[in-house]
Amino acid sequence: MGTILVTGGAGFIGSHLTKRLLLEGHTVVCVDNFTYTYDPFVKWDHINAFRNHPQYHLLSIDIREKTALQKVMEDYQVEAVVHLAALAGVRPSIQNPSAYVDVNIGGTLSVLESMRYAGVRKLVFASSSSVYGDDSRAPFQETAEVNQPVSPYALTKRAGEMLCENYFRLHGIETYCLRLFTVYGPGQRPEMAISYFLRNILAGTPMDVFGDGTSARDYTYVEDIVAGILASLDAVRGFEILNLGSARIISLNELIGTLEEVTERTALVNRLSDQPGDVRLTHADITKARRILGYQPATSLHQGLNTMLEALNHAPINALPV
């Protein structure tokens, strides 16, 4: 089994991916700088189940540290990279666009340069459905024009895709760029809508809801996303952009209603106006991912939310065998 480097490996998606990679027998090198974007202890909690696994290596490195990153790739004989590390969130990117450009564009360039000089030639890059902007031609296809991002975050993810394609053309780094659609599940970042709503409903406290509730998202369970990433690692050839979503859309009002069903509690809603940078709709066309990866999301929203609720209620978490 090969050695996989996962940037942002202590984050939400990265920790779920790491667990699966270890179970499949891979060696995993996790690179994470434990930024204070949110409580670093949340990330430490993510990796507790496998921190002592003999095939797991945790390194506190910023992806912008190109020399250090290249040395890691060479020392651990890395065979492929999954690049998840990024500053996330549409609204914060509007407040601090320079940081997003620095980390998301500069950091991705650093990863690509490190791969180039270390001789690593396979990359899976986490892009975002936000690159589609307010495209009304749903479901969104990878061939759509994506030249009008509505936030700096979306712009940085589109720039990352373009850098990846450039490095494939120039340096032969084979890359699949995965446009991820609103990923949720246990361990989701605390400021994300579903985590925020779930905690407030359980606590019986009012929660801010932006807009009239008719905006809709393609909510995708994290283990379905992980399955798509794993398939991409196996299949990556050349350069491709692929949607990973559930191919189902749920309005904000429907989401809140489902959360009320799952928790058996009533949500206390504080309605606010729409926020700049938020789009009205996301909806993935996953035809291409089905064809190339055999990707087939299997988790319903109700199932996924139940699993999140169990995790919040401190359901036992089985550590990996060592």
Please give the positions annotated as active site.
Answer: 153
Bridge partner residues of 50 (DSSP): none
Q: State the Cα–Cα distance between residues 6 and 233, nearest whole angstrom.
A: 12
Contacts of 25 (CB under 8 A, 6+ apart): 1, 55
Asked if residue 11 lies in contact with residue 84, where contact means CB atoms within 8 angstroms, the answer is: yes
How many C-alpha atoms does 127 have within 13 Å on its Cβ side?
29
- Burial (0-12, 13-18, 19+ Cβ within 10 Å), 282: buried
Which tokens in the block code for residue 70? Answer: 């290249």
CA distances from 247 to 2, 46, 188 (A): 32, 27, 20
Contacts of 274 (CB under 8 A, 6+ apart): 210, 211, 215
